[in-house]
């Protein structure tokens, strides 16, 4: 920019700061084109802010293909004047897929690591949920639109287990599923900085983190109303239509 305008780099930097511009940063977004976006949005936010009585609401998803990465050399620990270090390269030692369901009322996590994430594994996880939730409670599951969640065998199973109620997020709206926030924390605190010799080592780290979380769980509190979200989406769509 300085070369193109003939101004100094410091002047360009000052102008950007004065106008709150940060051209080195880029945000990502995608507006959902789901024809039932409003209906699904209001349904899920309703579960967050006013869950039904005698029922448990679970935010569910898979964190698939988590890699057991082992660094090629030992990292150096944190010390005064130096951050902790690790090699930029790594060895892949296999993968696991984490199935997780977060109770939106108290923040506890039901989880299971499995080698794949097909409908067979999803059914196995649903059976785990069924076994852990008291039989006199209805179960409302918030899921995304992954084909596994809507497989014919899953639908047949759901018809035989009437206390399960499935609520699907709009397409391209994974931000509406609160379990994604937990997955982010899990990645930052237990996976990204780890070094895992094999898949069992990785599963052990995931399990330990979830067990510690469940000892003193804290729910994520949903604060945005459907009205505010729809207004923001409307403004974003209007801006896109001008381009």
Structure tokens at 11: 């002047």
Percent of the chain exceeding pLDDT 90 equals 61
CATH 3.30.420.10 residue ranges in the chain?
Answer: 34-63+94-242
Q: How far lies 144's CA from each of 48, 174, 243, in Å?
A: 16, 7, 30
Which CATH number is associated with domain 34-63+94-242? 3.30.420.10
Q: What pLDDT digit, counting tens, does each position of 160-217 carry?
A: 999 999 999 999 888 899 999 999 999 999 998 888 999 999 999 999 999 999 999 9
Which residues are 112's β-sheet partners?
A: 99
Chain centroid to Cα 87, Å, comes to 27
Instruction: Count how many Cα atoms sit within 13 Å of the Cα of residue 166 in the half-sphere of its side chain.
Output: 19
Length of the chain: 243
Mean pLDDT on 34-48: 92
Please list, in sequence order, all residues whose beta carbon lies within 8 angstroms of the beta carbon of residue 109, skipping any fewer than 6 positions away. Answer: 100, 101, 102, 103, 182, 210, 213, 214, 217
Q: Say what the pLDDT of residue 137 is.
A: 95
Q: What pLDDT digit, counting tens, does each position of 61-116 carry?
A: 999 999 998 888 887 788 888 888 877 878 889 999 999 999 999 999 999 999 99
Kindly give the residue spans of alpha helices, DSSP state H, lying in 137-225.
Answer: 152-160, 179-186, 199-215
Distance CA 219, CA 215 (A): 13
Chain centroid to Cα 88, Å, comes to 25
Q: Bigger pLDDT: 193 or 47?
A: 47
Q: Say what the pLDDT of residue 82 is.
A: 82
Distance CA 196, CA 70 (A): 5
């Amino acid at each position: 920019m300085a070369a193109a305008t003939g101004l100094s780099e410091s002047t360009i930097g000052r102008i950007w700061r004065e106008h709150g511009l940060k051209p080195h940063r880029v945000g990502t977004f995608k507006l959902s084109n789901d024809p039932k976006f409003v209906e699904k949005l209001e349904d899920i936010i309703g579960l967050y802010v006013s869950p039904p009585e005698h029922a448990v609401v679970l935010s569910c998803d898979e964190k698939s293909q988590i890699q057991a990465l082992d660094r090629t050399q030992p990292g150096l620990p944190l010390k005064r004047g130096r951050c902790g270090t690790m090699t930029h390269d790594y060895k892949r030692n296999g993968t696991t897929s984490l199935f997780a369901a977060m109770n939106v009322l108290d923040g506890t996590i039901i989880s299971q690591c499995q080698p794949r994430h097909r409908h067979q594994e999803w059914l196995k996880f649903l059976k785990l949920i069924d076994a852990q939730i008291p039989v006199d409670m209805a179960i409302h599951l918030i899921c995304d639109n992954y084909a596994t969640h809507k497989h014919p065998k899953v639908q047949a199973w759901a018809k035989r287990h009437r206390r399960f109620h499935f609520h699907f997020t709009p397409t391209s709206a994974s931000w509406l599923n609160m379990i994604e926030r937990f997955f982010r924390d899990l990645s930052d605190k237990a996976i990204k900085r780890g070094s895992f010799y094999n898949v069992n080592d990785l599963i052990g780290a995931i399990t330990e983190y979830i067990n510690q979380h469940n000892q003193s769980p804290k729910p994520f509190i949903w604060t945005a109303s459907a009205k505010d979200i729809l207004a923001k989406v409307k403004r974003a769509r209007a801006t896109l239509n001008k381009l």
